[in-house]
Chain A
Amino acid sequence: MDAVTRRLIKELRDYQRDPNPQVVELSPTSDDNLLAWRAVIAGQEGTIYEGGRFDLDIVVPNSYPMQPPTIKFIGRVCHPNVHFKTGEICLDLLKSAWSPAWTLQSACVAIGVLLTSPEPDSPLNCDAANLLRCGDMRGYNSLVRMYTQLYAVPSTAAIMSSTS
């Protein structure tokens, strides 16, 4: 068993034993490929992302944990640091600030924290970032709530897709 597999199995076991409440799901997509993972994080209660379930696509490189995993959102997420179309996430821990002390789970938690503490000065979604930058909190909050309802709340998302 190589080092990557061994560590990933440990991470999976750690998650199953003590899952973070915000990380609803975290598992490899199939049994024979441990390098592709799928995660679901829940929007924090009491925040504008409340009620949303956000799917994350995780690709683990062969050099893990020396190199960070590639994580992106699968569905649409309205957030200054998330690309609206591709789901790409701008977060330093997934690039230069990575260290082997992070795990897939803690990275997912960090992404959950990023949702509620955006950094509008390095935007991937300029429209959302501009609303924040000019202090239009009412506009920003309602925009995020709308997209969360449309794409990330399971019941409405199902209605939306069945009607269209």
Chain B
Amino acid sequence: MSSNPALLPLPPSPSPPLSVVASTLQAHMSSVHTIPPATQNQNEHRNLEISVAWEDSTGDEKRCWICFVEEREEDVSKKVRWVRPCKCKNSLKFAHEDCLLRWISEKQGPITTDVKCPACGHVYAIEESTDVVLAILTFVDKSIQSVVPYVTLAGVSMAFYVVSTTFGAYAVMTMCGPDEGERILSEANWGWRTWIGLPLIPIGLVCSRLTAADAALPLLPFLVLGNDQIRLSLPPSPALTVCLLPWARLLYNGVWATIWPWIERIGRHTPARNGAVRSGGAVGQAAVAGQQEDEEDVQEFSIGRRDGQRLVLGSLLLPAVSSLMGTLLGSIPWVRNKVPDPFHRNILGGCLFVVCKDVASAVYRAHRKRQRRTRRVREYRGD
């Protein structure tokens, strides 16, 4: 929407009739960019009113500025009320009351607000019969109208909170097993920390996939769980484990970041089909070209892998997958002996899954890249 300051105040102006404004537009044109809005314009129009000769014969003739009907054309038998609602002069001075009321309702819409004259800015003074019932109902209507967005927002946030809390409770039950889970979620232990902590579980899980949360995640469990819950013990209690996991995550990501270039280098050298044929001088160039090609590949892959849906879904499914892996681990008698607590088996299972997944995706990437490099366009062997 362009509301040009130079354009706006031109035609519906308080003083000159439209035809005059139109013909004087050219005078404005040269200085169109230098006219400051509103204030100075009014003075200018006042000058115009004096200097411009009155070509219309409408001097005393009443002409409705809305429907353009003049008083002398009016059917005498019809009783039409003329009003002069604002300080406008000349062609904008008079209007039919009916026309003006229609325009006012058009401007107001469903809610009763003040309507200003489009030219002089005078607020139309409107008389209407009011009574107490109407006033009360209008007040109620307006209050409801203004409260609706906030209530909607509150409702949506509540729904989000409830869903997050439920997910948190589900995650606790799956990870800790029914016995420990019942204990943690029991009424005796349920306090404000639970109210805050449970909905933070899904948020924390999603954040754990974003590097942006690196700074916040390691501190969050300490703040939410509080000192009473965290006891140094071996094997670590669930609370301590939750506090340690973000640090383990940082460490793990760090390890990947260190070994990743190294893996890349292997990937580049093994399928040597690419550079093998090339002779001495060109090898350097080929290597550079190969490197660039790789960088492009990496970019292409990382964008493809990291789309939002997969990220959210993957992180929210982690508790379920961990518990499945934990159950599988529990079916091996040796592991069952070494790690008797199902919670620890689930955590181990989850970690195992993450490592397996990352290794698999690295292998997948490397193979895709190698395949890309071996690509050739086959010659057409027909006629």
Contacts and interface: CB of A to CB of B under 8 A. Distances in A.
Residue of A63, A99, A102 with most chain B CB atoms under a 10 A cut-off: A99
A48 interface: no
B25 A101 contact: no
Nearest to A124: B2
Interface string B1-21: 111101110111000001101
B92 interface: yes
Given A11-B68, A102-B11, A102-B12, A66 B2 contact: no
Contacts of B10: 110, 113
Contact of A106 (B4, B8, B11, B32): B11
B109 to A, nearest CB: 12
Contacts of A103: 18
Interface in A49-92: 63, 65-67, 81, 90-92
Interface stretch (A30-38, A114-122, A133-141, A154-162): A114-122
B282 to A, nearest CB: 43
B163 interface: no
Contact of A20 (B22, B33, B118): B22
A106 B21 contact: yes
A81 B2 contact: yes
DSSP majority for the A interface?
A: loop
Contacts of A7: 67-69
B65 interface: yes
Contact of B7 (A63, A65, A90, A113): A113
Contacts of B11: 101-102, 106, 109-110
Interface in B19-38: 19, 21-23, 25-26, 28-29, 32-33
User: Interface size bucket, B side?
Assistant: 20 to 34
Contact of B12 (A3, A101, A117, A119): A101
B103 interface: yes
B119 interface: yes
24 contacts: A7-B67, A10-B69, A14-B19, A18-B19, A20-B22, A65-B66, A66-B103, A92-B3, A93-B8, A95-B1, A97-B118, A99-B12, A100-B103, A103-B18, A105-B18, A109-B25, A110-B11, A113-B6, A113-B10, A114-B4, A116-B29, A116-B32, A117-B32, A119-B4
Given A97-B118, A100-B99, A113-B29, 6 more contacts: A7-B67, A63-B106, A99-B119, A105-B18, A118-B2, A122-B2
Interface of B: 1-4, 6-8, 10-12, 18-19, 21-23, 25-26, 28-29, 32-33, 55, 65-69, 92, 99, 102-103, 106, 118-119
